[in-house]
Structure formats: C-alpha cells, structure tokens
Structure 1
C-alpha cells in the first residue's frame, strides 16, 4: 500500500542563515523518518525595511540593526559559519550582498506555481550564502530562475508585475496568525491519517542527535489551533 506523504509547511527567509542550516537538518530528519514528506515553503521577511542596494556588508548591517559591537558580530558569524560547515554548507559572508528579499519571495511563489519551488529555494539560498549573488533585483532573480529551467522572460514579467506580491503578504499574515516571530518555523497539520504524535517522536529523536553538533536544540510543541493540532519545529 502506498504511504501518503506528510505535509509540512515551512516559513523561512532567503537571507536567514539558520534557515539554510535548518533545511539541511530537516531534510536529514525527514530521511530518518522513513516516510514521504511533502514540503511547501512560505514567505517570512526578517528585515522588510532593508534597501535593495544596501551599501554596507553583513557585519555593518547586523551591528547597526542589533546595536552590538562589530567584534561581537564577527564572533556570531564565525559561529554560524562553523555550524553551517557541520551540515556541509560553506558560507561566504565576505561575498554576501545584504538586500531586501521581497522579490525573492515572489519568485518562490512563481516557482511553486510552476512545480519548482524546492529547486528554487535551494538555488536562492546557495546564491545568497555561498555564491555571493544578489537576490534582491528582478534581473538577477530571473537569471537564477532560468538556471533551474524556468522561463527567464516570464519570470521577469511576473516580478515586474508583482504577480505574487499578494501571496507573499498572505504568507506573512498567516505567520502572524500562527504567532511566528522567527524562522525557520515548521508547521505540520494533524489529521486522522497522520496525527501529530506519530511524526513528532522521530523528529524529536533526530533533534537530540543534532545537539551533538553544538547547535541550539530545535523546539517542538504540539498546540491546538482552531481545534486542529500542529507540530511546530524551530531550528536555530
């Protein structure tokens, strides 16, 4: 008998370092779980007020935004870079272009409509954290989309027309309704075929293994929402 996939909705941002790390860890957790997992990404802007062409680097940005000394920011980035390496990701903060990610989120919705959201998410994260590409401009995003087989001209049309801006805003509104104030954030709706308590233990067991890498422990909780259960998984 074919096993129906478990559906997990993930709120994240393209410029969130923990989202890329969490993506790798969640993929491993899903692999250990041993059943099909269907993933859908949703938009969450960590810094919607960031200019597209921010003139400083990530160190300056984080120092200004968080109000902390530059040396402390260097220590933070060194730590997160080390954790990224532990899951096979080589972050290159010297090349990162700090930017606004609204257009990247619109592109992810476009990619979802064309059956390529997962590929697009991976390409955007790699472009931002590893390849040093600019993910805030429509022209750049269209080229990244073309690299995974999407129509570059149509992607550019969609971004210029703000075709999926309403969808991005809807995701943000849903995040607020769920009480999400940080990402990555994972939501699993419970149903009679795959109740929360059946998917939760395997992921919890994997989270205990992940603690050995030196990361913070992922957060799990089952909470009622409009009489429907949710699994919330936060990795940071």
Structure 2
C-alpha cells in the first residue's frame, strides 16, 4: 500500500503530522506492507535563498502579525508538538527558501533514505536551528546518512534534480493540494493536515481493507468451481 506525503521542511504541522502518522502505522499489523513516498511542496517559494529570518520576524514581516500574536501562535504550535513527541525550538529556527533541501530529499530517495532525510531535515530546522538552505549544512546531513558528500554537494548546488522537485509541486497543483501536510492513501483517500494518531490509524485501516486486503470468502470455499487445473465439484 503506497502513501504519498506532500510536505515542506519549514512547516511545523508537517513534522507533527509525520510523527502522528508514524505512530499510527506502528500500531497496524500490515505496517510492513506500507510504502511511503515523500513529495516536495514549497510554502514560500519566493523567499531569498541567501537570507534567513527567525520565526517571529517571519510572522511579523511576511504575515503582518503583531509580535504578541506571533508569539502566541508559536506557543500553541509548540504545545501541539509536545503532544506528538516534538520539542520545537522556534527561537533558533531559521526561515529560508527550502528548494535546495527538496533537491536533497530527491537524492535521498535514490538511496531509499527519503524518510530518514525528511526526519533529519526537520530536526536540523526545528530543533538544531540550522540553515536548511545552506549547502554545507545539507551536505553534512547527507553524509551523516551515508550519502557521498560530493554527490550531495553537486545535487544541492545545481539544477540536476530540479525537474523532480517541480514535478511534485505541479502534481500537487493538479490534485488541488494547496496546503501541507497532505497524505494520499493508495490513490483512493486523502488525509489533510496534522491529524491525531487515531484519525491516521482509522484512515489507514479503511484504505488497506478496501484496496489491499483480499476478499473474504463467505461461502467457505466449498462450492463447485473451475481453475487453471480444471473443474471440481
């Protein structure tokens, strides 16, 4: 069963959603049959990749919120994070353009490490206060996961994987996805936002039952029938 997740690194609800989704998945007997694919999405594609802002500055300058309102919103998100097992460090988080980070995610996908890279990027941005638009920071994250640092440097500094990033973003537009996180469950159902663990669990169970789980034979399999080896009564 395939789960596609559109996400941006600087979205705190994407990190919360990831943790809640993973907690739900761990409770399910078919968890080994689930394939997760991370998809790129940019909340602020117009941000200057050469500049950073702290979270308060971003809300004040970009969103026009008074500092008190911005601080209150950040505090509320931090409380949500604690419920998902995340200790957000918004005082250190640096807001910047995330396009190069998405390039790195697509490189990690090549090595089946996209989930590990998504987590590493969230930690770098929200916990460690690192600049996830900086080439050296991104190369170090890649190297920590065993990806060749020269290959990583080449990818994040060039247009080599730009097509893949843009394809994810265009696919989101084509599907009417305007906010993240956004989860598509085996091409049949969708879950939007950082939902509670129980919501993810129920959605995954329903999707598996309807799209993967084999039919239950209510007859007991004792009726007359034919197969590749012939017919029997």
TM-score bracket for the superposition, by shorter chain length: 0.7 to 0.9
Greater alpha carbon shift after TM alignment, 33-42 vs 53-62: 53-62
Change (3 A) 1:168 1:205: closer
TM-score (norm 1): 0.78
Q: 1:15 aligns with which of 10, 27, 30?
A: 10
Query: Can you give the 5+ residue segments of structure 1 that lack an aligned partner in the other structure?
Result: 1-5, 197-202, 210-217, 223-228, 230-236
Confirm or deny that 1:28 pairs with 2:18: no
Change (3 A) 1:175 1:92: same
Match of 2:154 in 1: 157
What does 1:134-213 align with in structure 2 at a 5 Å threshold? 134-190=131-187, 206-207=198-199
Match of 1:87 in 2: 84
Q: Is the 8 A contact 2:139 2:149 kept in 1?
A: yes
Query: Can you give the 5+ residue segments of structure 2 that lack an aligned partner in the other structure?
Result: 190-194, 212-233
Shift of 1:52: 2.0
CA-based RMSD = 2.5
Number of aligned pairs?
199
Greater alpha carbon shift after TM alignment, 26-35 vs 12-21: 26-35
TM-score (norm 2): 0.79
Relative contact order higher in (CA < 8 Å, ≥ 6 apart): 2
Q: 2-side partners of 1:205 and 1:142: how far apart? A: 33
Q: 2-side partners of 1:142 and 1:204: how far apart? A: 33
Q: Whose Rg is larger?
A: 2
Structure 1 residues 41-83: Cα deviation after superposition (integer angstroms, max 9, x where no partner) = 0000000111124353211111222222111010000010111
